[in-house]
Structure 1
Amino acid sequence: MPGTTQLNLNIPDTTKPRVVVVGGGFAAVNFVKSLPGHQYQVVMLSKTNYFGFWPLLYQVATAGLESESIGEPLRQLFDGHEDFHFRSVAVIGLDPDQNLVHTAINDLPYDYLVLATGTKTDYFGNAEIEKNAFSLKDISEAVDLRNQLLRSFELANLTQDPAERQRLLNFVIAGAGPTGVELSGALAQMRSHVLPADYPDLDITKMNIYLVDGVDRVLPPMSAYASQHAHSYLQELGVQFKLNQLVDSYDGQTVKLKDGETLETRTLIWAAGVTGNLVAGLPDDRVEHGRYLVNHYNMVQGYQNVFAIGDVALMKTKDYPKGHPQVSPPAMQQGTHLAQNLARERRGEVWAPFAYLDKGTLAIVGRSRAVADLPGGFHLGGLLAWITWLTVHIYYLSGFRNKLVVTANWAYRLFTRQPGTRIILETNNQRSVRRPA
């Protein structure tokens, strides 16, 4: 058509083996960083043009950090990496028989394909909840949630309807894993130290934070020690628990639980589950529980040149019969290990099977409160676990600027108890509450 822009991936021809990486998260980034650029042409395809440090998304959502401080452009991250090519484009399908990746622009042939697409929010088939709830999987969703939280307080300060005011001040979080626990703690501390000064004419003591989960404890993936201490910390902060409960429905105003109990709220935050972000094209029998079945070399079953790494990979081992946990450490280690195996192949060496080194699990529950499960059966709680959490997250943040900005933000908050700039950025998100006309 006249005036239509013609697009092309514009990947240069090469005599090297071409490695196409789909995704730009922890697994993908560590894979590319570890792969010798002089031996391969690497093409990374990702809808977003940045690498996000997802463990800190909840702080963006609760105005603790600016969104730019937890993201780094992928082009900048690999600046100077030999024969690396990034394209911000959606991958819409695969043809493993023809060694092709189908993108929204055109097809791209590969010699090796690495699927590192991570996860997406799992609503378990509930379309109503998917439509009305807020999730927290990337920076844009974190900004949407921050807008929702701040707009709720603004509208609660304006409305003359007591029932609507209470609905605006009730916040329900579905899922008591790390995301739900960290969000609950951050909201509770906002209620104690920030909102009374921001809204002196609003009775913030009416604000309720409900944490809902279908199991009988918080942080179910962690130890009983971590769970008990996290529960105690949240209880001290005034979080209300609805355990052994499942969310049945949510119409934008009322959360209905499976036992029939209802919670009036304008904000349901869905942190109840994730599933693999799969790309169409591989046979259904190569997928189990929303993840690609892989062997101990991260090869997708039945293929010698198609790999899956990170959250989207299901590698069954003696220690992890249901696959590795869908968190960043296994993803990072699988990315690095696969790159090392490809380098071994170029040297004519035998591939090594992947073995996960569990360095422990951390979760923060507010200022000076955190829990840690460490190797060897050791556990930490309180201030020492909190300092450990801060140190680990600063270490793994990408880019000197981000490390500096986040450290400065946290130091400021430590002494002032004030989170970051609490501004509302209007979006077209139809779920958010709006100022009455």
Structure 2
Amino acid sequence: MSTKQKIVVIGGGFAGLNFVKKIDKSKFDVTLVDKHNYHTFPPLFYQVASSELDPTSICFPLRRELRKHNCHGVAFHIGKVRKIDVAAKTISTDYETTHYDKLVIALGTTNNFFGNKDLIKDVYTLKSTDQAIRIRNEILFRCERAAVEPDNEKRRRMLSFVVIGGGPAGVEIAGAVGELKRYILKRDYPGIAPDDLSITIIEGTDRLLGTMSREASDTALRDLNQLMVEVKLGRLMKTYNDNVITLDDGSTIYSEMVIWTAGVTGVPIEFSGTDYKAGRGGCFPTDQYCRIEGLEDIYAIGD
């Protein structure tokens, strides 16, 4: 039996994978747990969604990476973590319960619907490879259907796209659909006029890319306008029912495909054996060593 302490890392994204590469395996037994058996590169989800990249271009098997020298000895277990029992020092997934001496949470973020959970049934999201593929397939299917639709109004409705959220992901996917409108339709779908496709991006603040510089915001706005993307700033979506978006000023937009990129929140996880609750936005407040404040032997890293 090994006398080394066991570290369990939840999440094989940037933070989790880099952690298991750097930690001294001669001092710890390390197990990496993830709901997928592959690592992805999230900044390029929009390129998969817009058919500019194949999914395999941004994904690679975790087990292949763990065979490399700096990961020698790291075990991989597949499973979505359902519960952390702080008292028993175990995590429970869909398939097993695993003991830890020290736990590292690196689950990243998921979509934030700001309390409107019903939206998940009606909108398209862009937080995983599967979601990006779903968007890609739907956009292509709509273009194919529109190419053989004789009714002008039905064709325009099929090609009515709205992106909610003017952050990096929203700007990127809106720009990609704008490129489809300006450059690709006339080449691949000559029967569809560019004006038949509408793409609108809605942002609640007064500028795009709010976390970046004013120059970046202005450049993004200029480039989206050149790609024939309509930009609505200072507007919030209130409801989305029967393909109609209602904004906070009472105006409406018809859209048969809404892509939600309006915000993120921490991946929710259940704790037992403690009364601990995650902070605002699902965040875990930590000290300077990434130890979660209020929990013993549990750390949080990454998004």
**Same-fold call, TM > 0.5?**
yes
Matches within 5 A, 1:217-256: 217-251=207-241, 253-256=243-246
What residue identity is the alignment partner of 1:299? R
Cα distance in 2, alignment partners of residues 130 and 256 from structure 1: 17
Equivalent in 286, 300, 303 of residue 308 of structure 1? 300
Give, in angstroms, the shift of residue 161 of structure 1: 3.4
| Map of 2:281 onto structure 1 | 289
| Map of 2:256 onto structure 1 | 266
Tell me: CA distance 1:286–1:188, structure 2 relative to 1, closer, same or farther (3 Å): closer
Tell me: CA distance 1:38–1:285, structure 2 relative to 1, closer, same or farther (3 Å): same
Q: Which secondary structure state, in structure 1, belongs to the residue aligned with residue 192 of structure 2?
A: coil
| Map of 1:161 onto structure 2 | 151
State which drifts further: 63-72 or 161-170.
161-170
Equivalent in 50, 53, 56 of residue 44 of structure 2? 56
Structure 2 gap ranges (5+): none
Cα distance in 2, alignment partners of residues 187 and 285 from structure 1: 40
1:125-180 deviation digits (Å, cap 9, x = unpaired): 22332211000001000000001111111122233333321111221000000001
Matches within 5 A, 1:339-354: none
Tell me: CA distance 1:96–1:199, structure 2 relative to 1, closer, same or farther (3 Å): same
Q: Contact 1:175–1:271 at 8 Å: present in 2 too?
A: yes
Q: Contact 2:276–2:294 at 8 Å: present in 1 too?
A: no
| Map of 2:33 onto structure 1 | 45
Q: Which secondary structure state, in structure 1, belongs to the residue aligned with residue 217 of structure 2?
A: helix
Give, in angstroms, the shift of residue 205 of structure 1: 2.6
Q: Contact 1:174–1:268 at 8 Å: present in 2 too?
A: yes
Matches within 5 A, 1:292-371: 292-311=284-303
Q: Contact 1:175–1:213 at 8 Å: present in 2 too?
A: yes
| Map of 1:65 onto structure 2 | 53
Equivalent in 165, 168, 188 of residue 175 of structure 1? 165
State which drifts further: 89-98 or 186-195.
186-195
Cα distance in 1, alignment partners of residues 53 and 275 from structure 2: 42
What residue identity is the alignment partner of 1:213? E
| Map of 1:412 onto structure 2 | none
Give, in angstroms, the shift of residue 89 of structure 1: 0.9
| Map of 1:20 onto structure 2 | 8
| Map of 1:8 onto structure 2 | none
Q: Contact 2:290–2:299 at 8 Å: present in 1 too?
A: yes
Q: Which secondary structure state, in structure 1, belongs to the residue aligned with residue 284 of structure 2?
A: strand
What residue identity is the alignment partner of 2:4? K
Cα distance in 1, alignment partners of residues 254 and 148 from structure 2: 18
What TM-score does the superposition give when structure 2 sets the normalisation length?
Answer: 0.94
Q: Which secondary structure state, in structure 2, belongs to the residue aligned with residue 225 of structure 1?
A: helix
| Map of 2:119 onto structure 1 | 129
1:71-125 deviation digits (Å, cap 9, x = unpaired): 0111111114222110111111011122111122221111110000011101112
What TM-score does the superposition give when structure 1 sets the normalisation length?
Answer: 0.66
Cα distance in 2, alignment partners of residues 77 and 238 from structure 1: 42
Cα distance in 1, alignment partners of residues 298 and 183 from structure 2: 51
Q: Which secondary structure state, in structure 2, belongs to the residue aligned with residue 259 of structure 1?
A: coil
Tell me: CA distance 1:252–1:139, structure 2 relative to 1, closer, same or farther (3 Å): farther
- CA-atom RMSD in angstroms: 1.5
Q: Contact 2:155–2:196 at 8 Å: present in 1 too?
A: no
Give, in angstroms, the shift of residue 206 of structure 1: 2.3
Q: Which secondary structure state, in structure 1, belongs to the residue aligned with residue 265 of structure 2?
A: strand
Structure 1 gap ranges (5+): 1-12, 312-437
Equivalent in 4, 14, 18 of residue 30 of structure 1? 18
Cα distance in 2, alignment partners of residues 16 and 236 from structure 1: 59
Give, in angstroms, the shift of residue 310 of structure 1: 1.0
Give, in angstroms, the shift of residue 246 of structure 1: 0.8
| Map of 1:211 onto structure 2 | 201
| Map of 1:402 onto structure 2 | none
Q: Contact 2:123–2:259 at 8 Å: present in 1 too?
A: yes
What residue identity is the alignment partner of 1:41? D
1:266-324 deviation digits (Å, cap 9, x = unpaired): 1100000110002100634442332111111110112341001111xxxxxxxxxxxxx
What residue identity is the alignment partner of 2:219? H
Cα distance in 2, alignment partners of residues 20 and 276 from structure 1: 19
Q: Which secondary structure state, in structure 2, belongs to the residue aligned with residue 296 of structure 1?
A: coil
Q: Which secondary structure state, in structure 2, belongs to the residue aligned with residue 194 of structure 1?
A: helix
Q: Contact 1:218–1:227 at 8 Å: present in 2 too?
A: yes
Cα distance in 2, alignment partners of residues 263 and 158 from structure 1: 25
Higher strand share: 2
